[in-house]
Amino acid sequence: MGAERSRTYGMIICALSALTGVTFLIGVMRKSYLALALPVTAGFLGALYISFWIGRALVTTPIEPPADD
């Protein structure tokens, strides 16, 4: 069941990325400012989210002292 769900999500991600790419290319051909601004904004916010997620993981991970031999 897990592999089937993973494949379904993979197909959804592939379809959405292809649709987004086609939409982006259409917007660029029409010389639309939003066609460039929205993906750049999404990428920037995505990078900020990933850096926040890594920082939160570092802050909340418990540190165990080294074992005494």
pLDDT, tens digit, 9 for 90 and up, residues 2-59: 778 889 999 998 998 898 888 888 888 998 888 888 888 999 999 999 999 999 998 9
What's the pLDDT at 1?
A: 60
CA separation, residue 6 to residues 9, 39, 50 (Å): 5, 26, 22
d(CA 43, CA 54): 17
Domain edges within the chain: 2-60
What is the pLDDT at residue 36? Answer: 83
pLDDT of 62 strictly over 90: no
Helix axes 33-60, 2-29, angle to 10 degrees: 140
